[in-house]
Amino acid sequence: MTSAIDAVAIRGLTKRYGATRVLANVTMELRAGSLCALVGPNGAGKTTLLGIVSTLVRPSSGEVSYRAGTAAVANGGGLRRAIGVLAHDSFLYGGLSAEENLAFYARLYELEDGARRAAALLDEVGLAEEARTRPVKTYSRGMVQRVALARALLHEPRVLLLDEPFTGIDRTGAAALARTLARAVERGCVCLVVSHDLEALAGIADHVAVLRRGKLEHDERRAGGFSEQELKELYHRHAE
């Protein structure tokens, strides 16, 4: 397993698809024990940046480096095992139950305590016990999101990258997911969350990065975290 990742440094990232520039010279740093709210209008490049940090998308120029103390973490399987990703695709199998999906991923990650981890995470994300043995294809969007988050956390990643995790979830579910994220921060994860749900991120995001038209318009940290009103003000000031 890769050593604990203390920081992810993003330097001069640019991404083009043909003549279309999606990201333009983005430079920022993500830190362990911190949650960065990556916000901006649709089409700002947020999902692309998340994909590059996850190693699933290659930048056109620039680099992302992962550090454990003063040492660089090499790219490869060890690094990818240290990353948990929640994307638009849940990466769950519809014909399998929540328990079966997590058991499958536990085997992929060669987890010795996979069953215990899966049960604890399903409790943590608030999936009702009666639903856990039903096929995922019978779930609501919010239920799928809960299981997908459990999948992303199953192998205790050091870097957690979430794309719109609160989609389709009611206020109760959003509060449960926010508590899960807060615990990930307490465990020392590097967390990057793309979301339009500023209410759900209030109080747990201590770092805000605002993207607009592929450019980093604002990058701010606040030790006490940001209130919902502060997040909204930053969004309106820099993203609109």
How many helices and strands, by DSSP H and E, does the chain display?
8, 10
Instruction: Band the pLDDT of 3: cuts 50, 70, 90.
Output: low
pLDDT tens for 4-27 read 899 999 999 999 999 999 999 999
Write the pLDDT tens digit of every residue in 174-222: 888 888 899 999 999 999 999 999 999 999 999 999 999 999 999 999 9
Q: Please give the pLDDT value at position 72.
A: 82
Residue 116 has pLDDT above 60, yes or no: yes
- pLDDT band of residue 1 (cuts 50, 70, 90) is very low
Residue 61's identity, in one-letter code, is S
Distance of alpha carbon 175 from alpha carbon 162, whole angstroms: 16
One-letter amino acid at 239 equals: A
Query: Long-range contacts of range 72-79, CB-CB < 8 Å, 24 or more positions apart?
Result: 73/2, 73/3, 73/5, 78/1, 78/2, 79/2, 79/55
Mean pLDDT of 95-115: 95
Q: What is the mean pLDDT of the chain?
A: 92
Strand partners of residue 176: none
Q: Would you state the pLDDT for residue 120?
A: 94
pLDDT tops 70 at residue 2: no
Q: What is the pLDDT of residues 22-65, one digit of tens each?
A: 999 999 999 999 999 999 999 999 999 999 999 999 999 999 99
pLDDT over threshold 60, residue 160: yes
Task: Return the CATH class of domain 7-82+157-238.
Answer: alpha beta
